[in-house]
Amino acid sequence: MDDRKYISVELHNELSAQMDDLCDRGDIGSIIRLCEELQSYTHDKPLIRLHLFYNIGTGYSFVSSKEGCKFNNTVTGLALLNFRKAMAEVKNFARDTINNIPSDEEMNAFNDIHNRLLTNMANELDFQGRRLEALAYYEKPIRSGNVHAVLSKARCLFFLAQSVYDDGHAYHLQRESAECYRHALSRIHEFPAVQRNSIQSNPFHKEFLDWFKDQESKYGSDFPRLETLKGNTSLASKKKKEYLKWCAKNKLFINELNAISTSEVVDHDVLTLPSFTARFNGLLSSSEELSFHGHFDEMKTDYCYARYLAFIGSSMSLFDEHFFNSTFEHVDTLDYEINNLKANHLKSSFRISYSIFDKISFFLHRFFELDTIKNDHKVDFKRVWFKHGSNNLKDMFLDSDNSHFRALFFISHEIRQGAGKAQDDKDLSFWFDPDTDRLFKIRNAMEHRAFKLVDSVCNRNVKDSSDKVKQYKDELLKVRLNIEEVSEKLKSLPNSNLEHQLQALKRKEAYLQEDIDEQESMSSYFLVVGVEEFESLTMKLLTLAKDALIYLSLAIQHEESKMPNDDGIISTNIVPRR
């Protein structure tokens, strides 16, 4: 039950101004208390609820930034959670506008808060090391003219460029970063005075731009702009070209450059397991020496297959028929179920994408020797970071400076792997995106229960039994009151007619309860999801899997770069390709 209090517009405006003031003054304790107070309020308008969650997220984000980039920074999770909740209210606002056209003032207020929300959400993802995801969220506010998003994107690209291990990729990312910095600085007058002074007094911006200008003069001709380069698709079939174009547009290549470009030149899954050093062991066969490379290749293949299934599924009509399941007569469940090839391609893509996170956790477990082999069966993406039987981080992660580990760690809280009924502050997955619960329930139903995709437009016309259920429950309540009344009469005046009446009432009570129980059981038998929503969630999961594979590769490269050059017997495997 929602026991939150209704907030007036006046109080909401007052508390919003108070949050801005507290952040300007850096009053951490008061910010946390105000966030907790704001969580106790609600409103009947999505725009006000959106602003409430935005203010809470912004407050926690400020506190998080002061705690630093640590694995155990739980406040960043609270910030992102509230930004996600605000995003859910964006959808509610859009849905409400279908029947209630907002005023110009309301639309201006919505567009302003929406752009600020996307920018702050991107900043929080960047803070968590999730830079590929952050870059996607900066796009809309930048198109809307938000200069804060331009500056934040420049910073995000700069740090991403520092972490990639392909020099050419790094150069293109630095070029994009420099252009964003120049653009933001050319609009310096648009920043508030305090922030403007901070930007102008920071020597980094000029130093970086001067340095990159020198790099451009020396090496710029060696790195033509991505949009001018052509891919190697001239001999490809029309279907393959469509597929590659779709992948690039949806930014689904395992390639950091796809985050900033959709040109043909980025249409390759170029990121691999980076080179790493290992002890020479004469007992290992060549195949065993290549186990880690082979496992990473397996994950990439799984991902590419899931991506292809999503492409095929998305390009098919909702009602396309196929012979794969034409060998038997299908039951019409009268709720517009879709069980054609499109639906099953999407379901398979979803399953495979979800499984990649389990494989990543096993890879981390074995590659970094996080635990003994006998505990292989206990490894999962949610718990791989923690010591057995506790919520204490493993030593490797406790003080790690590896932002890609941190990115994977925070993603692990958005990929639920256990039902769990722990309260938010006790459950390690309390940072999850509100969509995550939906993803988890879908996977659970798909793998262990009953799952059904339907035509969501037609399914809305299926008769809803909620009114009838309410009538039954009301009738049941009346019957129970009558039973109490007759029972009391029988105590003072035994009577055969009353006894028969009581038995009849109890039989009716039993029948009503049985019908209600059966309806509840059968209505929850299937998890029913519209094909359009499922396709959107599958794309979201697929994108997250792609990002996680990139973060894994970059995390290993970061750790490898810190390895000491000692006199031990080590080798760097030459990886055969085919």
Structure tokens at 227: 């949009």
Nearest Cα to Cα of residue 408 among 369, 359, 371, 351: 359
Nearest Cα to Cα of residue 362 among 339, 390, 386, 381: 381
Between these two residues, 131 and 323, which has the higher pLDDT value? Answer: 131
The total of structural domains in the chain comes to: 3
Same domain, 377 and 496: no
Mean pLDDT of 435-454: 86
Q: How confident is the model at residue 385 (pLDDT cuts 50, 70, 90)?
A: very high
198, 213, 228 - which closes a domain: 228
Check residue 423 and give its pLDDT: 43
Does an H or E element contain 453, and which? strand 451-454
List, for residues 303-358, the tens digit of each pLDDT value. 999 999 999 999 998 888 888 888 888 888 888 888 999 999 999 999 999 999 99
Q: How far apart are CA 542 and CA 252, in angstroms?
A: 8
Same domain, 480 and 550: no
CATH code (residue 111): 1.25.40
pLDDT at residue 1 is higher than 70: no
pLDDT at residue 563 is higher than 80: no
Check residue 474 and give its pLDDT: 92
Check residue 425 and give its pLDDT: 41
Backbone phi, then psi, for 144, in 5-degree steps? -85, 0
Same domain, 12 and 75: yes
Can you give the residue range of the structural domain that contains 359?
A: 271-450+528-564
pLDDT at residue 430 is higher than 70: no
Check residue 426 and give its pLDDT: 44
Instruction: Average the pLDDT over each of 22-26, 96-100, 251-255 and give the range with the smallest value.
Output: 96-100
List, for residues 388-419, the tens digit of each pLDDT value. 888 889 999 988 999 999 999 999 988 865 54
pTM score: 0.90
pLDDT at residue 428 is higher than 50: no
Same domain, 394 and 533: yes
- Is residue 189 a part of any domain in this protein? yes
pLDDT at residue 176 is higher than 80: yes
Same domain, 376 and 516: no
Between these two residues, 69 and 509, which has the higher pLDDT value? Answer: 509
175, 197, 228 - which closes a domain: 228
Does an H or E element contain 572, and which? strand 570-572
Same domain, 400 and 294: yes
pLDDT > 90: percent of the chain: 62
Mean pLDDT of 212-220: 94
Mean pLDDT of 491-506: 86
* Dihedral angle of Cα 529, 535, 541, 544, to the nearest 10 degrees: -150
- Is residue 234 a part of any domain in this protein? no
Q: Residue 375 in 3-state DSSP?
A: helix
177, 200, 228 - which closes a domain: 228
Q: How far apart are CA 46 and CA 38, in angstroms?
A: 15
Same domain, 141 and 193: yes
Same domain, 355 and 439: yes
List, for residues 239-262, the tens digit of each pLDDT value. 999 999 999 999 999 999 999 999
Same domain, 336 and 477: no
pLDDT at residue 281 is higher than 70: yes
Same domain, 539 and 510: no
Average pLDDT, the chain: 89
Geometric angle at alpha carbon 287, from 285 and 288, rounded to 5° = 65
Same domain, 389 and 413: yes
- Is residue 515 a part of any domain in this protein? yes
Mean pLDDT of 67-80: 84
Structure tokens at 275: 């080179």
- Is residue 89 a part of any domain in this protein? yes
Mean pLDDT of 146-154: 97
Q: Are 358 and 384 in contact (CB under 8 A)?
A: no
Q: How confident is the model at residue 49 (pLDDT cuts 50, 70, 90)?
A: very high
Same domain, 442 and 535: yes
Instruction: Average the pLDDT over each of 136-150, 158-172, 246-260, 433-447 and give the range with the smallest value.
Output: 433-447
- Is residue 129 a part of any domain in this protein? yes
- Is residue 238 a part of any domain in this protein? no
- Is residue 152 a part of any domain in this protein? yes
Q: How confident is the model at residue 172 (pLDDT cuts 50, 70, 90)?
A: very high
Nearest Cα to Cα of residue 559 among 270, 275, 365, 358: 275
- Sign of the dihedral through C-alpha 77, 83, 86, 88: negative
Check residue 462 and give its pLDDT: 67
Nearest Cα to Cα of residue 425 among 121, 74, 84, 86: 74
- Is residue 254 a part of any domain in this protein? no
Structure tokens at 155: 């910073």
